[in-house]
Amino acid sequence: MGQENRPEFKKLGVIGVGSMGGMMSLLYAEHGVEVHYCDPRMSEENVKQLQEHAESIHGSNRIERQKDYKELCENILSPDSPKLFVFSIPHGPVGNKTVEKGPRPRWYPLYWLRCKRRVPKRQTRSLYVPPGGDAETLKKIIPFLERVAAKDKERRPCTTCIGPGGSGHYVKMVHNGIKQGMMSAIAKVWFIMNRCLKMAYEAIADTFQSWNESDPLRDNFLAAIGADINRTKDQEGHFVLANVLDKVVQDVGNSEGTGVWTCDETVRLRVPSSTIFSAHLLRLDSADAAKRERVNRAFKGGATQLTTIKLEGLGIIKAMDREQDWNLDYRAILQIWQGGCIIQSDYISDLLDRVLSSRSDTQSPKGIAVDDLLSQDDVAAEWGTCFPSLKNVVLKSLAVDAYIPYLSATLEYITYSGSTELPTQFMEAELDYFGAHSFDLKSEWPGKPLKGSHHYEWKPPKGIFGEKLDGTK
């Protein structure tokens, strides 16, 4: 490819400097690129964090804030190079408005992986980049991306032209769905070692380290950081992980949509992906830790499948009701399900109606009780009578290799819906380790399914030149 087809980008315009955009800006500045940025959300917190941490790295003089998009365009003008923009913006109204008002690029904005919220939290010095779009344009962009891309074991850059249109976005979306599945799997393994086998944190760390050093989990990122997390102690000598609450809220808080979209696609494309789907459901249920505590206090057993299925369906309706502000009458819904429909099951409907009717409109707005059906004594008592039988059926079915995905799914759902100790405790620590997502503490009231306020520096970070932030090697 001729040099005329491979422009050297000396300047970069970054629109959006949140967790990912801010760290992108710092990384490119460290690699000698002059970065100009603006934040469409006008977040002074984001800007302050970026400027503070720019002062602690090489190349901080190459990061400059612009007051708006117009000023940003003016300052990245270069006579020998086209303008290059990176949009790091959230999905939703802010992102949509930014794209509508901005340029019409011939290549799609990129999603970036393993970018940290603050410099002290960076554990990586490179990125995995899956761009998609116009092939000719991407040929000009790829060399620029390779400058900061991670390298595989053969030193090949982890970036390439994925394909046309939004294929890069799609690959990254599914990547995050896979990530959720893998994190759920390794968290479950951690849970078994910690809760069931009563292994000490140091022993679990040694196990993860040995797995990471040999096949079949050799060079596994989650196992590697799992060893770090299980060894990390605070200044008082206590294990940090021990006080991390088992509460993952990114999906419920709508700050991460890729897992939701991946699950949507498995259904739309008719591709069985039960492991990924189950992992996402576990994350969703973990978010409301306070609700799980209420269920745990009321219930010490399991539930019948049909009751569980109806509760799940009502939960879906309730979520849409809340989103659309329909203010539905759930007793009326249960009533019309008691005749002329395939899901008629009068005993179950009568049970749920009795619980709903026990809470008057003066005590709770109409329909709110649907959110707490699992924690009501009548429902819990019904569940408690059948848990041993359901568990026994699942165990015996597995022993003879029977296909029981629906039975085992019901058992899992009921088990974790009332648990106050989920594997997501370890998952939450890993999210904070590599993404600075923050967490809640067990020693505090779990509260609503909102982002936690605590972060821990699990491992001293290094910049691209191999130095720690205090200047030591």
Note the pLDDT of residue 471.
47
Task: Mention every residue, 6+ apart, whose C-beta is less than 8 A from residue 203.
Answer: 193
- Asked if residue 434 has pLDDT above 70, the reply is yes
What's the mean per-residue pLDDT of the chain? Answer: 78
* pLDDT bracket for residue 408 (50, 70, 90): confident
Note the pLDDT of residue 93.
54
Note the pLDDT of residue 461.
61
How far is Cα 268 from Cα 41, in angstroms, rounded to an integer?
A: 33
How far is Cα 16 from Cα 66, in angstroms, rounded to an integer?
A: 11
227: left (phi over 0), alpha (psi -120 to 50) or beta: alpha
How far is Cα 173 from Cα 319, in angstroms, rounded to an integer?
A: 24
Note the pLDDT of residue 213.
92
Residue 220, Cβ neighbours under 10 Å: how many? 16
Over residues 332-364, the pLDDT tens digits come to 888 888 887 878 888 888 888 888 887 644 344
**Residue ranges per domain, the chain?**
3-165, 300-417
- Top mean pLDDT of 116-130, 278-292, 302-316, 422-436 is at 422-436
Over residues 141-189, the pLDDT tens digits come to 888 888 888 888 888 888 888 888 888 888 888 888 888 888 888 998 9
Residue 453, Cβ neighbours under 10 Å: how many? 10
Over residues 437-457, the pLDDT tens digits come to 889 999 988 888 888 889 898
C-beta of residue 374 within 8 angstroms of C-beta of residue 297: no
Over residues 257-288, the pLDDT tens digits come to 678 888 898 888 888 888 888 888 888 888 88
The model's pTM: 0.75
**What order of strands is seen across the sheet that includes strand 85-87?**
63-65, 34-38, 11-15, 85-87
- What superfamily does domain 3-165 belong to in CATH? NAD(P)-binding Rossmann-like Domain (3.40.50.720)
